[in-house]
């Protein structure tokens, strides 16, 4: 394993390799949501198609990869999204069904998946929600969001995640915008070093839904260190 890497834009030709790294990185998490993992070849094909559709629906996303300079392999990925305005037109349950459950494959533990993402989405709306006079969430606050971050298990502890996070927090400071991220497991100390603060913690026990494992989900915000003039 080399500790020498560079950060580059993630290109469409990289997506399949990036998905494979994500599956390695999230192996423990996948035991929560799947009855068996890895999925069959036909299920993997369906899941890959869904992932590609999701990316196509994020035209403003900024995606980066960390590349091992010796092997050329992708060893980490981050996806950032700058959102200056976001309206909410659905209920919480409708949002989960549309954004998550349409990606189920035969190996998916649907009960666990629905329950987990209901918890996660509810937490996000609680942290970021703009409410009307009746208390209903009608939008989410402007933010720079670290939508996903993962590192190859063989390259943890060499600065890959820090390098991928650095770009987004610097952008947020230039824009004078807060940064939002949902951290899992052992990643929390890294984000705290960048100035993120815990604003909510959720716990999910997959055993209640026939799954395996317990998961702590941490909702984090980082306020900008500099504020753009006029803000």
pTM: 0.91
Average pLDDT over residues 31-56: 93
Model pLDDT, residue 231: 47
Mean pLDDT of the chain: 92
* CA–CA distance, 75 with 38 (Å, rounded to integer): 19
Residue 79, pLDDT > 80, answer yes
| Of the listed ranges 1-15, 63-77, 151-165, the one predicted with least confidence | 1-15
Q: Exposure of 35 by Cβ count < 10 A (0-12 exposed, 13-18 middle, 19+ buried)?
A: middle
Residue 180, domain extent? 5-222
CATH number of the domain encompassing residue 129: 3.40.630.30
Average pLDDT over residues 71-84: 97
Q: Residue 150 falls within a domain, yes or no?
A: yes
* CA–CA distance, 138 with 129 (Å, rounded to integer): 7
Place 137 in a pLDDT band, splitting at 50, 70 and 90. Answer: very high
Q: Residue 32 falls within a domain, yes or no?
A: yes
Q: Residue 177 falls within a domain, yes or no?
A: yes
- Cα 63 to the chain's mean position, in Å? 12
Q: Provide the phi-psi class of 16: left if phi over 0, else alpha when psi is between -120 and 50, else beta.
A: alpha
* CA–CA distance, 42 with 29 (Å, rounded to integer): 21
What does DSSP assign to residue 156? T
Average pLDDT over residues 220-224: 96
Q: Residue 228 falls within a domain, yes or no?
A: no
Give one DSSP letter per residue of 49-114, joined into a string: HHHHHHHHT-TT-EEEEEEETTT--EEEEEEEEEES-EE--S-HHHHHHHHTGGG--TTB-HHHHH
pLDDT tens digit sequence for 172-197: 999 999 999 998 767 788 899 999 99
Give Cβ neighbours of residue 127 (< 8 Å, ≥ 6 apart).
180, 199, 200, 219, 221
Q: Residue 230 falls within a domain, yes or no?
A: no
Residue 227, pLDDT > 60, answer no
Name the β-bridge partners of 84.
none
In this structure, how many other beta carbons lie within 10 angstroms of the beta carbon of residue 141? 16
Residue 6, pLDDT > 70, answer yes
In this structure, how many other beta carbons lie within 10 angstroms of the beta carbon of residue 231? 9
Q: Residue 103 falls within a domain, yes or no?
A: yes
Q: Residue 111 falls within a domain, yes or no?
A: yes
Provide the domain count of the chain: 1
Q: Residue 193 falls within a domain, yes or no?
A: yes
Place 32 in a pLDDT band, splitting at 50, 70 and 90. Answer: confident
């Amino acid at each position: 394993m080399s500790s020498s890497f560079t950060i580059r834009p993630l290109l469409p030709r990289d997506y399949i390799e990036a998905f494979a790294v994500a599956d390695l990185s999230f192996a423990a998490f996948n035991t929560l949501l799947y009855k068996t993992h890895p999925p069959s070849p036909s299920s993997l094909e369906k899941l890959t198609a869904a992932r590609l559709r999701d990316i196509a629906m994020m035209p403003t996303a900024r995606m980066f990869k960390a590349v091992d300079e010796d092997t050329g392999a992708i060893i980490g990925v981050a996806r950032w999204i700058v959102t200056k305005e976001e309206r909410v037109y659905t209920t919480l349950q409708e949002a989960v069904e549309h954004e998550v459950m349409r990606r189920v494959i035969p190996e998916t533990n649907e009960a666990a998946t629905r329950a987990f993402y209901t918890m996660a989405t509810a937490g996000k709306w609680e942290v970021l929600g703009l409410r009307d006079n009746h208390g209903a969430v009608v939008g989410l606050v402007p933010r720079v969001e670290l939508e996903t971050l993962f590192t190859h298990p063989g390259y943890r502890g060499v600065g890959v995640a820090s390098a991928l996070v650095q770009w987004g927090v610097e952008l947020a400071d230039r824009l004078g915008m807060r940064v939002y991220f949902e951290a899992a497991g052992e990643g929390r100390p890294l984000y705290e070093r960048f100035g993120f603060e815990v604003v909510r913690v959720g716990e999910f026990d997959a055993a209640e839904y026939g799954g395996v494992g317990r998961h702590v989900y941490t909702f984090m915000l980082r306020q900008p260190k500099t504020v753009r003039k006029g803000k």
